Amino acid sequence: MEIKRKNKSQLLSKIATNDRHRENSPYFDGWKAYDNNPFHPTQNPNGVIQMGLAENKLCFDLIKKWIMENPDASICTAGGVDKFKDVAIFQDYHGLKEFREAIAKFMGRVGGNKVTFDASRIVMSSGATGANETIMFCLVNPGDAFLVPSPYYPGFARDLRWRTGLEIVPVDCKSSNNFRITRAAMEDAYEKAQKWNLNVKGIIIANPSNPLGTTLDIETMRSLVAFVNEKNIHLVCDEIYAATVFDSPRFVSIAEVIQDMDCCNRDLIHIVYSLSKDMGIPGFRVGIVYSFNDDVMLCARKMSSFGLVSSQTQYLLASMLSDDGFVGNFLRESSKRLAKRHYVFTKGLEQVGISCLTSNAGLFFWMDMRLLLKEQSFKGEIELWRVILNEVKLNVSPGSSFQCSEPGWFRVCFANMDDETVEVALNRIRAFVLNRENQESNRSKRCWRKKHLRLSFSSTRLYDETIMSPCMISPHSPLVRAKT
Ligand SMILES: Cc1ncc(COP(=O)(O)O)c(C=O)c1O
d(CA 244, CA 337): 10
209 lines ligand 1 (CB under 6 A): no
Nearest to 411 by CA among 57, 147, 26, 60: 26
Residue 463 predicted with pLDDT over 60: no
pLDDT, position 468: 28
pLDDT, position 104: 98
276 lines ligand 1 (CB under 6 A): yes
pLDDT tens sequence across 363-413: 999 999 999 999 999 999 999 999 999 999 999 999 999 999 999 999 999
CATH 3.40.640.10 domain residues, the chain: 73-327
129 lines ligand 1 (CB under 6 A): yes
Close Cβ partners of 189 (under 8 Å, ≥ 6 residues apart): 147, 169, 170, 171, 172
The model's pTM: 0.89
CATH 3.90.1150.10 domain residues, the chain: 2-59+335-434
pLDDT, position 442: 74
Residue 120 predicted with pLDDT over 80: yes
Close Cβ partners of 366 (under 8 Å, ≥ 6 residues apart): 151, 179, 211, 212, 213, 356, 357, 359, 399, 409, 410, 411, 412
Under a CB-based contact definition with an 8 Å cutoff, are residues 31 and 52 in contact? yes
pLDDT, position 477: 30
Q: Please identify which of the residues 153, 273, 290, 315 carries the catalytic annotation.
A: 153
pLDDT, position 1: 52
d(CA 281, CA 276): 5
pLDDT tens sequence across 158-208: 999 999 999 999 999 999 999 999 999 999 999 999 999 999 999 999 999
Cα–ligand 1 centroid distance for 367 (angstroms): 20
* Probe target for ligand 1 pocket from 103, 129, 212, 244, with the most ligand atoms within 8 Å of CB: 129
Residue 275 CA: nearest ligand 1 atom is: 10
Cα–ligand 1 centroid distance for 290 (angstroms): 16
Q: Is 85 exposed, middle or buried (0-12, 13-18, 19+ CB in 10 A)?
A: exposed
Q: Please identify which of the residues 75, 122, 240, 288 carries the catalytic annotation.
A: 240
Does residue 277 have an active-site annotation? yes
CATH topology of domain 2-59+335-434: Aspartate Aminotransferase, domain 1 (3.90.1150)
Under a CB-based contact definition with an 8 Å cutoff, are residues 53 and 31 in contact? yes
Under a CB-based contact definition with an 8 Å cutoff, are residues 115 and 259 in contact? yes
Residue type for 342, please? H
Under a CB-based contact definition with an 8 Å cutoff, are residues 349 and 356 in contact? yes
CATH topology of domain 73-327: Aspartate Aminotransferase; domain 2 (3.40.640)
399 lines ligand 1 (CB under 6 A): no
d(CA 219, CA 221): 5
Q: Please identify which of the residues 190, 205, 273, 277 carries the catalytic annotation.
A: 277
155 lines ligand 1 (CB under 6 A): yes
d(CA 336, CA 314): 27
* Probe target for ligand 1 pocket from 277, 366, 401, with the most ligand atoms within 8 Å of CB: 277
d(CA 148, CA 202): 9
49 lines ligand 1 (CB under 6 A): no
